[in-house]
A and B are shown apart, each in its own frame.
Chain A
Amino acid sequence: MANDFTFPDNAAKTATAAAGEFLPEKMSINMGPSHPSTHGVLRLQMELDGEIVTKADPVVGYLHRGDEKIAENMTYNQFVPYTDRLDYLAPLANNVAYAIAVERLARLEVPPRCQAIRVIIAELARISSHLMGLGAFGIDVGAWTVFLYTFTEREKLYRLFEELTGARFTTSYTRIGGVARDVPDGWLGRVNAFCDQFLPILEETLALLTRNKIFLDRTAGIGVIAKEDAIAYGLTGPNLRASGVPLDLRKDKPYSGYEQYEFDVPVGSHGDCYDRYLCRGEEMRQSVRIVRQAIKRFPGGDWYARDARRIFAPPKDKILTSMEELIQNFMLVTEGPQMPAGEVYFEAENPKGALGFYIVSKGGGVPWRLKIRGPSFCNLSILPKVCVGAMIADIVSILGSFDFVMGECDR
């Protein structure tokens, strides 16, 4: 039977094309910007040979809001809410990264209690972001159930965020030199209780996928990124570690007191979609470990830099009763926290990768230039390479495993 098929060359085919035959030619296909598997507004233009992708060109920028231009026109504290909208699945982690970047510029040290609060919220944000990424990845490859589990857990986290910051999503919790308010009474206990009930559920959720034949078929050996390529394209976060590079800024360039905590950095061996999934799963367990340690040795004292008179707002009761503090607060609001001239570059290990802020200051309360290095932007830049040679159905799997968010890609 196999011998019945013949493959005429293109010239011969064209000669008989008048008979209305289909020509063996490549097809171009467009995914997005409003395609569910593109997780936002990513658009992919692809060229297919049958079901094999021969060329891929991601089109980004649909969510470009000019955050960097906006930053040049407002004071450092005013920009905090804009950082929520970078990686909008982990706003707390963005808040922390931005605050530390500006504090590096001001050469300001925050007290241990503030550092511990920031570690806890950054790790909770990591769990919530990975839960979202995992749930969406599951849906992409046809496993709906996972999403229902992870969203239930994420909802519990959002209740905790709401209690702490007053908002579920757009938290705007950090300030330059501290946080907006101290943790509420009993909040740490509720975080601990969340961790206790979360771990068994996480195991159950991961068990739905880890040895699932369908999931393995859709992810193992798909979208392989070699170690060298991952580095050359500037990948960071779980996507880089899944390719076997043990780079975690929490370990390698510790900030906010991460050096005090014990945790492991999961590293993949194949760099395929499955390894990226495994890395995220393990990172959630490690985040729980960090959160528990931080709560166990939660320091007392101030939750903001008390000596930073020209940077952090005075206590509210003082503003209302004392002239000195009123003036100080007025200056802070109108002129912004006063920064020295100079430039800093700070990267924090965010759920999606290294979120970097490059701040060029000429002094005063407004940055001259603020560049945001969105990890998703760099992670996506490898798509033209990874997608080529993959099947069209695998593209969905690859995109799901990248766990990108367009808010920080397009800024």
Chain B
Amino acid sequence: MTATADVATALREKFPQVTGRESLDWPACNVPSGQAPAVLQWLRDEWAFDLLADLTAIDWGVGKSPRFTVVWHLLSTSRRTYVRVAADCADAEHPAMPSATRLWPGANWHEREAYDMFGITFSGHPDLRRILMWDGYPYFPLRKDFPLAGLDTTLADAEVAAETGAGVKPAPYMGGPFVAAPGGPMDEAEPRAKDQSWTEKEEKPNEA
């Protein structure tokens, strides 16, 4: 436990701009986005955090500053412990982050996924294109302003779309049936089909 606690202290000594980060489990730190590759490389080379376990992003919500945070989880195969590194993207409109593919080739797919889901551009990435959604998909689905039910869009194959006239439709129950909303008052959090329900505040829709 002491060895892992030392990582955060040593990191702050080496990189004065690094600050501690609240964490329930592993040592964690916030780094300025520009310094992220240097910090990650230092952790890899000096502290033997040689395996990039996970790379992902968090959207804190529309209008929040910073809006996007990129999080790396590193695992040391020799010292058997994790460390969490987080960096905020400066720009909410065009979020960007230096790529870690130079350090770990395995970061390639993770960064493509973060780009696909959040629209974060990883500068220096050799092949930044969508990975889970299809090429040319217009939205970033894991952003908080993207609805759970999805949005209207065209089919991936323009030829098929033209021939069949079909498109990608959102799920019919906006918000999803029996889905509790995060936070808020009890009567809104209660799971129910939200677009077909009525409460004290909302009148029953007139069927006729």
Contact = CB atoms under 8 A, between A and B. Distances in A.
Contact of B84 (A61, A235, A345): A345
Main secondary structure of the interface of B (DSSP, over half): loop
27 contacts: A61-B134, A72-B148, A73-B148, A73-B175, A73-B181, A73-B182, A74-B176, A78-B178, A78-B180, A104-B24, A233-B104, A233-B106, A247-B51, A335-B186, A342-B23, A343-B28, A344-B24, A345-B54, A356-B53, A356-B54, A358-B73, A362-B182, A364-B183, A365-B182, A366-B181, A373-B53, A380-B109
A232 B24 contact: no
Interface in B100-149: 104-106, 108-110, 113, 117, 130-134, 141-142, 146, 148
A363 B122 CA distance: 30
A69 B26 CA distance: 25
Interface in A295-354: 333-336, 340, 342-347, 354
A335 B180 contact: yes
B94 to A, nearest CB: 21
Given A64-B132, A410-B132, A233 B189 contact: no
A371 B54 contact: yes
Contacts of B75: 347
B188 to A, nearest CB: 11
Given A64-B132, A343-B23, A72 B182 contact: yes
B35 interface: no
Interface residues of B, number: 51
A231 interface: yes
Contacts of A373: 53-54, 56, 73
Given A343-B23, A347-B75, 8 more contacts: A61-B132, A69-B146, A107-B24, A231-B50, A335-B180, A336-B180, A365-B189, A381-B108
Contacts of B26: 345
Interface string B177-198: 0111111001001110000000
Interface string A214-234: 000000000000000101111
Contacts of A21: none
Interface of B: 22-26, 28, 50-54, 56, 58-59, 71, 73, 75, 77, 80-82, 84, 104-106, 108-110, 113, 117, 130-134, 141-142, 146, 148, 175-176, 178-183, 186, 189-191
A335 B25 contact: no
A379 to B, nearest CB: 10
A407 to B, nearest CB: 13
A60, A73, A377 — which one has the most chain B CB atoms within 10 A of its CB? A73
A68 B142 contact: yes
A30 to B, nearest CB: 15
Nearest to B56: A371
Contacts of B183: 362, 364, 366
Contacts of A411: 132
Contact of A61 (B58, B106, B131, B180): B131
Contacts of B24: 104-105, 107, 340, 342-344
A189 to B, nearest CB: 36
Interface in A104-129: 104-105, 107
Given A231-B50, A377-B109, A61 B133 contact: yes
Among B28, B58, B109, B134, the most chain A Cβ lie within 10 Å of the Cβ of: B109
Nearest to B25: A344
B179 A73 contact: yes
Contacts of A245: 77
Given A61-B132, A64-B133, A335-B180, A234 B104 contact: yes
A396 interface: no
Nearest 4 interchain pairs by C-beta: A234-B106, A61-B132, A366-B182, A233-B106
A252 interface: yes
Contacts of B142: 68-69
B89 to A, nearest CB: 15
Contact of B25 (A66, A235, A345): A345
B180 A66 contact: no
A60 B181 contact: no
Contacts of A362: 182-183
B180 A366 contact: yes
Contacts of A364: 182-183
Contact of B56 (A70, A333, A358, A381): A358
B136 to A, nearest CB: 13
A343 B82 CA distance: 14
Contacts of A202: none
A388 interface: no
B141 A69 contact: yes
B73 A345 contact: yes
A382 interface: yes
